[in-house]
């Protein structure tokens, strides 16, 4: 089994899910007392969030590169960034290390393309929904035409992620508000699936809340990482 290097803490709420999923999947696939071979760098998310909010992506990129090099030096044989948003600097990170990056958008796209989905709706941070690093990769590399909520919907989803889910706050009223965003988007767009494009979204909603296919990037990413580790 190859050693997986995790860059986490963004937030630790979803990084804990990565840890659980990777170990559970290893046990399921290998049996007995097996678990995943992991090394992890975990950020103080307040430092990362401050750079995001200020648009200081250069400093955030430098921090991410340092983290990637640290897990590589610790023995990692592949790299997993435990967040969708910080794949914004994936090209710079790939160039800075000698181990492969398991890209969360590629893992998600592979699952989407196994189903007859044409127009998935992306629920994520405002950065991921509005900037091109994620949607653009899905379009250019996987020929996927992704929808996002309107501005009000994007604001609501973003705020729920940062002000609640990243802080371990799960509110029924926020779940309903998020479901309403999906319903409203479907009323004026031919959306036929939902992407949980932030690793915390699955803390609030699940596939059982929708009558269309759901793609949880956290679980898909973890499975792709373990598949690579066992290849």
Comparing CA positions, the residue from 136, 115, 134 lying closest to residue 126 is 134
Q: In what order do the strands lie in the sheet with 78-81?
A: 38-42, 4-8, 78-81
Residue 35, φ and ψ in degrees, nearest 5: -145, 170
CA distances from 72 to 5, 87, 90 (A): 7, 17, 15
Bridge partners of 194?
A: 121, 214
Nearest to 1 by CA among 26, 28, 21: 26
Q: What is the DSSP letter of 190?
A: -
Known active-site residue 198? yes
Q: Which of 198, 199, 217, 218 is catalytic?
A: 198
From the candidates 15, 61, 83, 108, give the one annotated as an active-site residue: 83
**Phi/psi-derived region of residue 56, left when phi > 0, alpha when psi is between -120 and 50, beta in every other case:** beta
DSSP 45: H
Active-site residue, 83 included: yes
**Residues belonging to the active site:** 83, 198
């Amino acid at each position: 089994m190859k050693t997986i290097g995790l860059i986490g803490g963004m937030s630790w709420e979803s990084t804990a899910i990565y840890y659980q999923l990777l170990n559970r999947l290893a046990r399921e696939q290998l049996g007995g007392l097996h678990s995943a071979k992991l090394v992890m760098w975990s950020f103080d998310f307040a430092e990362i969030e401050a750079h995001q909010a200020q648009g200081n992506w250069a400093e955030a990129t430098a921090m991410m590169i340092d983290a990637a090099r640290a897990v590589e030096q610790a023995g990692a044989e592949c790299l997993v960034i435990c967040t969708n948003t910080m794949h914004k600097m994936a090209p710079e990170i790939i160039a800075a290390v000698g181990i492969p990056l398991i890209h969360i958008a590629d893992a998600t796209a592979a699952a989407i393309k196994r189903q007859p989905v044409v127009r998935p709706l992306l629920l994520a941070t405002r950065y991921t929904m509005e900037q091109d690093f994620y949607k653009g990769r899905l379009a250019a590399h996987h020929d996927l035409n992704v929808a996002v909520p309107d501005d009000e919907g994007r604001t609501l989803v973003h705020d729920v992620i940062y002000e609640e889910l990243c802080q371990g706050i799960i509110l029924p009223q926020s779940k309903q508000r998020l479901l309403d965003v999906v319903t409203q988007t479907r009323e004026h767009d031919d959306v036929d699936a939902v992407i949980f494009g932030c690793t915390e979204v699955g803390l609030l909603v699940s596939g059982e809340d929708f009558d269309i296919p759901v793609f949880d990037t956290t679980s898909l990413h973890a499975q792709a990482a373990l598949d690579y580790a066992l290849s």
